[in-house]
Amino acid sequence: MDADITQSTVGGTVQAPPSKSYTHRAILAAGYAGGATVRDPLVSADTKATMRAVEAYGGRVDRHDDRLDVTGFDGRPEVPDDVIDCANSGTTMRLVTATAALGDGLTVLTGDDSLRSRPQGPLLDAIDQLDGRAESTRGNGQAPLVVGGPVDGGRVSIPGDVSSQYITALLMAGAITDGGIEIALETELKSAPYVDITLEVLEGFGIDAESTTEGFVVAGGQSYDPDGGEYTVPGDFSSISYLLAMGALAAPDGLAVTGAYPSAQGDAAIVDVLQRMGADLTWDREAGEIDVTRSDLTGVEVSVADTPDLLPTIAVLGAVADGTTRIVDCEHVRYKETDRVAAMAESLTAMGASVEEEHDTLTIHGSDSDLDGTTVDGRADHRIVMSLSVAGLVADGTTTVEGIEHVDVSFPGFFDELEALGAAVER
């Protein structure tokens, strides 16, 4: 499905969608428990994959309007009756691969074409270090995977610069091993705030895990048990980034984003990025509301070492800002649903932006850029689709974004909200 977005303005109030990162972790944590209620979850294509995995391991997920009632497998995952299909969700695959290592038997995990091209090797090696079985069927460190155990805990050494999700997977599974898991990082940890999210969710479920001078450690023999049997998911700052970009670029009378409460999410850095660029933006943290108005922006340098999901949003802002925007430390952003560095460079160039792409850097010369509507490929990637749609609001003429159905991964109501805020959108 495609969307035609014509240059237009937006305004009003919009509620932030729930966090995808927190929802994934909360669903699996409730699965590890005897059971729990997850309130205000994001129900999307990706989080449904995690729900299916929990059910494959012997749990049950009952969906209601504002909550998920999860009957867990109480730390003892069953061997699934069938292959676990993680679809396009890399988070699901990595988190539940570690779950498979707790089982007394073998689990097969796979996904779509994109997911089967993403690296899983370091996590497989970590499970092997714990005396589990973890293999890539094609021998290339990519899915399909065959994983089994049961592992009892131990010490692992793992790189930190490929994916923080490996760390999350090991911490979540390690809490219910007999001996716990100690993680030593071989390299600097990229996307570190996502591990902070994990630690926050674990604490919410009564699990003690912590960082060390070498990496992280989680004690074994623990039980997942949230206070009152419930966990509430906060708003998602990755999704909020598109809403704030809309406001800064196309809301002359202002845009208010509600549900934006402080949390461990690294992508809250979008607020600082916009303020550094000169956006008229205020954040009432206690009320969870951010107000932003169309502003004259100036280019800045931004590291996305810890915030890879912000790269597409920042690239669009840079294409409209005066001066030059440099996005650095972005090599790991190439290993997402698509190579997001190349995707944004190619699409913004097609729209008339002046862009330089290097292996670890994306430079956008906003002063030399005039965006014009054209047809751009969403690359079957929700974040590319949403960021290019924001660019369409300020490009001359009409921008056609292909593959808009992929927003279901993280922000199913994105185009409904875009229309409700006044944008000229045809689907």
Flag whether 383 is marked binding: yes
Token digits of residue 320: 């409209």
Both tokens assigned to 81:
């009756």
Known binding residue 163? Answer is yes
Instruction: Please check if 12 is assigned to a binding site.
Output: no
Q: Is 164 annotated as a binding residue?
A: yes
Helix (H/G/I), strand (E/B), else coil: 61: strand
249 vs 302, 375, 404, CA distance in Å? 18, 20, 21
The rounded distance, in Å, linking the Cα atoms of 199 and 218 is 10
Catalytic residue positions, numbered = 309
Q: Are 93 and 86 in contact (CB under 8 A)?
A: yes
Residue 165 in marked binding region: yes
Q: Binding site annotation covers 389?
A: no
Token pair of 401 as six digits:
């974004």
Work out the angle at residue 207's Cα, subtended by the Cα atoms of residues 205 and 211, and round it to the nearest 5 degrees: 125
Q: Is 285 annotated as a binding residue?
A: no
Joined together, the tokens standing for residue 289 give 């509301």
Is 60 flagged in the annotation as binding? Answer: no
Residue 191 labelled as part of a binding site: yes
Contact status, residue 143 vs residue 93, Cβ threshold 8 Å: yes
136 is in an annotated binding site: no
CA distance 257 to 71: 34
Cβ count near 287 (within 10 Å)? 10
| Half-sphere exposure at residue 272, Cβ-oriented, CA atoms within 13 angstroms | 10
Residues 101 and 76: their CA atoms lie apart, in Å, by 11
Tokens matching residue 236: 């998602």
Give the separation between CA 45 and CA 30, rounded to whole angstroms: 19
- Residue 410 labeled ligand binder: no
DSSP label at residue 70: E
Q: Is 118 annotated as a binding residue?
A: yes
Q: Which positions make up the binding site for phosphoenolpyruvate?
A: 20, 90, 118, 165, 340, 383
Q: Which positions make up the binding site for 3-phosphoshikimate?
A: 20-21, 25, 163-165, 191, 309, 336
Q: Which positions make up the binding site?
A: 20-21, 25, 90, 118, 163-165, 191, 309, 336, 340, 383
